C-alpha cells in the first residue's frame, strides 16, 4: 500500500513519518516549498524525528534509514493523490477541506480511500463533495503523531466496512490503537475533542479566577493523572509544535 499525506506541517509531517516508519511508501505533499523543507526537518532532526529516535534507542539506524527511504516530500498534488490511501492534514478550515476532497476525488484512482485528520468537522460534509462517500472516513490523530497512540476513526452512514477495515489495519500497523466512532454534525470534536474542550474551558476558568497559573494547572494535571503534558501545554504543542523544553 502507498499512502499520500496532504500537508507538511506539524501534523502532516508527523503522520508521514509514522506511516513511513511502519513500512508504507509515503508521499507528503504541500503547496509551500518552505513547509516542505520544515516538514523534512521535523522528520529528520526534530524533537520526535528519526535521528532523535536513534539517539534514544527507539529506532535502529537501519529502521530510521529505511523510513526515510520510504518517504518522499513533493509539491505535486497528483503524486500524493495517486496512492491507495490519502490522509488530509491541511489547515482546519471547512471550505478548504471540502475543496481538497473535491480535487482529490477528481485526481485519485477510484479505489483510493480518502481520510481526513480533521479535529471535528463532520465527515459527511467532506464525503458529500465526492462521488465516493463509501471510501471517505475520518482518521483523527493526536499531536505529536509519532508518540500519541490515538487513532479516532470516524465513520458516516455511507462509509463501507472495507474502508473501515483497511484504515483500522493501517492504524494498527502504525502502532496506533484504532477506535471507531460515529460521525456527528451536532457538535464539534467527535469524542476526544468534545471532552478535551470541556477540560480546557474549565482550566481557563481556574486561571481567570486567579486560583492558579497556567503552569500550575499543567503541573497539577500531569502529577494527578500522569498526563505527558497539561491542558495549556497541549494547546501550545498542537499549534506550535513540540520543541525542546
Q: What is the pLDDT of residue 241?
A: 60
- Domain identity same for 145 and 221: no
Separation CA 214–CA 212 (nearest Å): 7
Please check whether residue 141 lies inside any domain of the structure.
yes
Q: What is the pLDDT of residue 239?
A: 66
Please check whether residue 245 lies inside any domain of the structure.
no
- Domain identity same for 146 and 220: no
Which domain, by its residues, includes 221?
Answer: 192-240
- Domain identity same for 173 and 198: no
Separation CA 161–CA 153 (nearest Å): 12
Please check whether residue 187 lies inside any domain of the structure.
no
Confidence of residue 143 (pLDDT cuts 50, 70, 90): confident
Q: What is the pLDDT of residues 81-112, one digit of tens each?
A: 999 999 999 999 999 999 999 999 999 999 99
Residues 19-35: what's their mean pLDDT? 98
Q: What is the pLDDT of residue 144?
A: 87
- Domain identity same for 231 and 170: no
Confidence of residue 64 (pLDDT cuts 50, 70, 90): very high
Number of structural domains found in the chain: 2
- Domain identity same for 96 and 201: no
**How far, rounded to the nearest angstrom, does the alpha carbon of residue 60 sit from its chain's CA centroid?**
24
| pTM for this entry | 0.91
Q: What is the mean pLDDT of the chain?
A: 95
- DSSP H helices in 128-175: 161-173
Q: Domain holding 78: CATH number?
A: 3.40.50.720
- Domain identity same for 63 and 138: yes
Q: What is the pLDDT of residues 181-197, one digit of tens each?
A: 999 888 889 999 999 89
CB neighbours of residue 38 within 10 Å: 18
Percent of the chain predicted with pLDDT > 70: 97
Amino acid at each position: 500500500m502507498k499512502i499520500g499525506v496532504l500537508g507538511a506541517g506539524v501534523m502532516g509531517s508527523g503522520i508521514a513519518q509514522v506511516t513511513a516508519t511502519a513500512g508504507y511508501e509515503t508521499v507528503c505533499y504541500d503547496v509551500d516549498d518552505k513547509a516542505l523543507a520544515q516538514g523534512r526537518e521535523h522528520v529528520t532532526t526534530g524533537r520526535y524525528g528519526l535521528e532523535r529516535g536513534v539517539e534514544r534507542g527507539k529506532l535502529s539506524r537501519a529502521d530510521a534509514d529505511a523510513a526515510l527511504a520510504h518517504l518522499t516530500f513533493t509539491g505535486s498534488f497528483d503524486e500524493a493523490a495517486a496512492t491507495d490511501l490519502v490522509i488530509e492534514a491541511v489547515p482546519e478550515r471547512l471550505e478548504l477541506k471540502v475543496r481538497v476532497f473535491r480535487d482529490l476525488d477528481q485526481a485519485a484512482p477510484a479505489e483510493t480511500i480518502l481520510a481526513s485528520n480533521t479535529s471535528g468537522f463532520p465527515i459527511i460534509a467532506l464525503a458529500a463533495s465526492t462521488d465516493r462517500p463509501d471510501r471517505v472516513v475520518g482518521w483523527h490523530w493526536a499531536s505529536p503523531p509519532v508518540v500519541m497512540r490515538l487513532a479516532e476513526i470516524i465513520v458516516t452512514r455511507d462509509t463501507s466496512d472495507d474502508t473501515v477495515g483497511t484504515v483500522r489495519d493501517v492504524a494498527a500497523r502504525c502502532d496506533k490503537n484504532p477506535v471507531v466512532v460515529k460521525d456527528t454534525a451536532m457538535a464539534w470534536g467527535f469524542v476526544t475533542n468534545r471532552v478535551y474542550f470541556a477540560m480546557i474551558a474549565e482550566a481557563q476558568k481556574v486561571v481567570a479566577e486567579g486560583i492558579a497559573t497556567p503552569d500550575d494547572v499543567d503541573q497539577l494535571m500531569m502529577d494527578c493523572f500522569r498526563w505527558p503534558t497539561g491542558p495549556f501545554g497541549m494547546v501550545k504543542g498542537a499549534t506550535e509544535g513540540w520543541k525542546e523544553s
